[in-house]
Amino acid sequence: MNAQVSSDAGIAASKGVFIDNHWSPAASGKEIDVVAPAEGRVFARIAAGGPEDIDRAVKAARRAYEGEWGKLAAFERGRLLARLGLLILDNADELAALEARDCGKPMKQAWADIAACARYFEFYGGAADKWHGTTIPFLNGYFVATEREPHGVIGHVIPWNYPAQMYGRTLGPALAAGNAVVMKPAEEACLTPLRLTELAAEAGFPAGAINVVPGLGPEAGQALISHPGVDFLSFTGSPEIGVLVQTEAAKNHIACTLELGGKSPQIVFSDVDLDEALPTLVNAIVQNAGQTCSAGSRLLVERSGYDRIVGAVAERFGKLQAGTPDMDLDLGPLISLRQKGRVESFCAKAADDGIAVLAEGKIAEGAPENGFFVAPRLFGPVPQANSLAREEVFGPILSVIPFEDEADALTIANGTDYGLIAGVWSSNAKRATRVARKVRAGQVYINAYGAGGGVELPFGGVRKSGHGREKGFEALHDFTTLKTLVFKHD
Ligand code: NAP
Ligand code: MG
């Protein structure tokens, strides 16, 4: 892994790849170091899965789909999901500590992530036998019904920012719908997905229903997205790899869902209730150190209230502190040195472009020097054409952009290639509704902002943010295919 991170004793050994409800070494025999971002040192190793392991996992999933798992009634699948949800809560201490160390996030965030992961399994456990087709009036003498069928075997590639939440978010609906799954988690943070899959086996999921193969994107990931035995792909990550996923899906004539991040606007009118809005406006970019696909990374502020609103945001921003999971402050470190370098290069370019830093938080005293911390920063005013106003930084960097009126706000809000989520803040309900309905995004909040949102709320984007919907009942739509049955009875 990275030459600049240190290692020492007490490194947790790799358990291998998890296929057919048991661990085995990766075919390559190779391993990957896992770094704790808050410490900047290796604390575990994982197997470097590759094409042979993926092939074995896909075949195991197919056997499960055609065998014991595929034969379960919907309510029996739901019961297994609900049982896993409870088991996750029973093991929440251990899982939250693992997630916090692997990702560097504050403990309160890790707890919230584990709770959300459990909620996905509860929600989809309950939904499994409530997702059904319909009947269609047709010609006399005919009876027509539709049936929602699973795709079969689904390949899931997830990123490192919320491994536990992503696990629940993508596997919950896929399994509730009756698919068997193979997951390739991100090599930078995959310990909770592996542990959760052990718990799934303990909950009673039949062998092969859930298989997890850790490894590198170009090796295990590429093998999964191009495998001809996979019937559907679910990907969350960068737009660049999203293009690859969609290309491989096309070659195999299968569909995919892509969740590729965003440059989400928070549109703040002068009549905002600032006391109510302030904590959310700031947290929307600080949560998970800004490494959230739906981070509110653009703060669009009406010119007439600019000084008052930006002044209050700046004051709050200046008090933010980054620290270790146990310090449990506003934010943790970034996931890797590479990600830290990426964020710092955005900041350096903004300085070169003459954009002012309006406020800067701190790295807490006592935070390890080797940790991948960056101080949160508020930049503004950021010209609409600047990369800080258009590109996903994936760090705790908030860009302030002034606007003149409603029309100007919408032009700016809709002026990037992305469209994932948005927030509209105003005491004028009619205006807020009007603007919300014209923003191009999969989710729009009014006088609220939910980076990540609730498990019940359909979520996904347009254009460079991807397509397809996860969360809520909508995810069951994407993870199934529809069959129309036509019966002639006269
Ligand atoms: P990424 O490369 O797209 O990683 C996402 C997942 O795709 C990881 O599991 C990765 O594996 C895998 N992958 C990489 N190459 C692959 C390939 N050729 N075939 C199949 N799978 C492959 O994203 P990243 O490099 O971690 O982050 C880069 C940027 O993407 C971030 O700065 C951020 O802007 C954006 N991002 C967005 C989200 C989101 O939630 N939408 C999440 C993460 C990142 P490995 O990483 O294990 O190699
Ligand atoms: Mg990567």
pLDDT of residue 333 exceeding 50, the answer is yes
User: What domains can be seen in the chain, in order of their start residue?
Assistant: 17-260 (3.40.605.10), 265-454 (3.40.309.10)
* β-sheet bridge partners, residue 266: 299, 423
Give the C-alpha separation, 480 to 318, whole Å: 47
pLDDT of residue 4 exceeding 70, the answer is no
Task: Name the pLDDT band for 10 (thresholds 50, 70, 90).
Answer: confident
Q: Atom 32 of ligand 1 has which residue's CA nearest to it?
A: 394
pTM of the model as a whole: 0.97
Task: Render 218-246 in DSSP notation, one character per residue.
Answer: IIIIHHHHT-TT--EEEEES-HHHHHHHH
Task: Name the pLDDT band for 3 (thresholds 50, 70, 90).
Answer: very low
- CA gyration radius for the chain? 23
In degrees, rounded to 5, the angle at the alpha carbon of residue 87 between the alpha carbons of residues 86 and 91 is 120
Q: Atom 27 of ligand 1 has which residue's CA nearest to it?
A: 238
Helices (H), 272-352: 274-286, 306-318, 337-352
Q: Atom 16 of ligand 1 has which residue's CA nearest to it?
A: 217
Total count of residues recorded for the chain: 490
Give the pLDDT score at 371.
98
- State phi, psi for 66 to the nearest 5 degrees: -85, -10
Q: What is the mean pLDDT of the chain?
A: 96
Q: Atom 11 of ligand 1 has which residue's CA nearest to it?
A: 217
Question: Are residues 270 and 383 in contact, defined by beta-carbon separation less than 8 angstroms?
Answer: no
pLDDT of residue 412 exceeding 50, the answer is yes
Question: Are residues 205 and 84 in contact, defined by beta-carbon separation less than 8 angstroms?
Answer: yes
- The string of pLDDT tens digits covering residues 460-470 is 999 999 999 99
- State phi, psi for 487 to the nearest 5 degrees: -110, 125
Q: Atom 28 of ligand 1 has which residue's CA nearest to it?
A: 238
Q: Atom 41 of ligand 1 has which residue's CA nearest to it?
A: 261
CA of 482 to the centre of ligand 1 (A): 31
State whether residue 346 is helix, strand or coil. helix
Question: Are residues 392 and 463 in contact, defined by beta-carbon separation less than 8 angstroms?
Answer: no
- State phi, psi for 413 to the nearest 5 degrees: -55, -40
CA of 177 to the centre of ligand 1 (A): 26
The 10 Å CB-count burial string (b at 16+, else e) for 427-448 is: eeeeebeebbeebbbbbbbebe
Ligand nearest to the CA of 245: 1
pLDDT of residue 359 exceeding 70, the answer is yes
Pocket test for ligand 1, best of 183, 238, 260, 463 (most atoms within 8 A of CB): 238
Helices (H), 382-481: 387-390, 406-413, 429-438, 474-478
Give the C-alpha separation, 150 to 14, whole Å: 33
CA of 186 to the centre of ligand 2 (A): 7
- The string of pLDDT tens digits covering residues 217-272 is 999 999 999 999 999 999 999 999 999 999 999 999 999 999 999 999 999 999 99
Task: Name the pLDDT band for 8 (thresholds 50, 70, 90).
Answer: low
Give the active site residue among 39, 187, 219, 259: 259
CA of 217 to the centre of ligand 2 (A): 6
Beta strand 17-19 with 22-24: parallel, antiparallel or unpaired? Answer: antiparallel
- The string of pLDDT tens digits covering residues 280-300 is 999 999 999 999 999 999 999
Give the pLDDT score at 394.
97
CA of 8 to the centre of ligand 2 (A): 25
Longest dimension (CA), the chain: 81
Give the C-alpha separation, 13 to 411, whole Å: 52
Task: Name the pLDDT band for 452 (thresholds 50, 70, 90).
Answer: low
Question: Are residues 225 and 244 in contact, defined by beta-carbon separation less than 8 angstroms?
Answer: yes
Which amino acid makes up residue 4? Answer: Q
To the query of whether residue 259 is one of the catalytic residues in this protein, the response is yes
pLDDT of residue 344 exceeding 60, the answer is yes
Q: Atom 13 of ligand 1 has which residue's CA nearest to it?
A: 217
> Can you tell me which atom of ligand 1 is nearest the CA of 224?
20
- The string of pLDDT tens digits covering residues 432-442 is 999 999 999 99
CA of 295 to the centre of ligand 2 (A): 19
DSSP classification of residue 405: S
Which range (1-15, 273-287, 292-306) has the least confidence?
1-15
> Can you tell me which atom of ligand 1 is nearest the CA of 292?
40
pLDDT of residue 2 exceeding 50, the answer is no
Give the C-alpha separation, 58 to 77, whole Å: 20
Ligand nearest to the CA of 289: 1
Considering only residues 7 and 458, tell me which one the structure prediction assigns the higher pLDDT: 458
Give the pLDDT score at 5.
66
Task: Name the pLDDT band for 201 (thresholds 50, 70, 90).
Answer: very high
- The string of pLDDT tens digits covering residues 129-149 is 999 999 999 999 999 999 999
Task: Render 76-129 in DSSP notation, one character per residue.
Answer: HHHHHHHHHHHHHHHTHHHHHHHHHHHH---HHHHHHHHHHHHHHHHHHHHHTT
Ligand 1 binding pocket, CB closer than 6 Å: 157-161, 184, 186-188, 216-218, 221-222, 225, 236-238, 241, 244, 259-261, 293, 342, 392, 394
Give the pLDDT score at 220.
98
CA of 291 to the centre of ligand 1 (A): 12
CA of 487 to the centre of ligand 2 (A): 50
Pocket test for ligand 1, best of 157, 158, 257, 294 (most atoms within 8 A of CB): 157
Q: For residue 61, which of 257, 208, 271 has the smallest C-alpha distance?
A: 208
Pocket test for ligand 1, best of 241, 264, 391 (most atoms within 8 A of CB): 241
pLDDT of residue 203 exceeding 80, the answer is yes
pLDDT of residue 1 exceeding 90, the answer is no
Give the pLDDT score at 453.
72
In degrees, rounded to 5, the angle at the alpha carbon of residue 244 between the alpha carbons of residues 159 and 50 is 65
